[in-house]
């Protein structure tokens, strides 16, 4: 059981690191990128903060996904100094 947990944590950390690296070479407003393997799909995008509020990330054929809350809810406490927001959804 413990080995399975460690394997999953390590895998998720590597997926996050890969996404971070790929996002670091993305440009603001670039079309959403999708990367697929036999076991995981990763969707990445660098956006203007105003475009993230209400945005949806959906799984294959619309199954599952995430809908972000409004820009005000997401970023109100961070102020208006954000130039871009990176989104990463893996499933």
DSSP 3-state percent helix, strand, coil across the chain (nearest 5):
40, 25, 35
Backbone Cα Rg of the chain: 15
Task: State pTM to two decimals.
Answer: 0.71
Domain ranges of the chain: 2-90
Token pair, residue 81, equals 């100094």
Strands of the sheet containing 41-47, edge to edge, are 33-36, 41-47, 85-90
pLDDT in tens, 31-85: 888 888 888 888 888 988 888 888 887 777 767 778 888 888 888 777 667 788 8
């Amino acid at each position: 059981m413990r080995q399975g947990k460690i394997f999953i944590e390590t895998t998720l950390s590597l997926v996050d690191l890969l996404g971070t690296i790929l996002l670091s070479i993305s440009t603001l407003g670039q079309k959403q990128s999708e990367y697929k393997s036999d076991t995981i799909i990763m969707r990445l995008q660098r956006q203007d903060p105003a475009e993230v509020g209400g945005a949806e990330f959906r799984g294959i054929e619309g199954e599952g996904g995430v809908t972000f809350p409004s820009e005000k809810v997401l970023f109100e406490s961070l102020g208006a100094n954000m130039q871009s927001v990176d989104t990463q959804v893996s499933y």
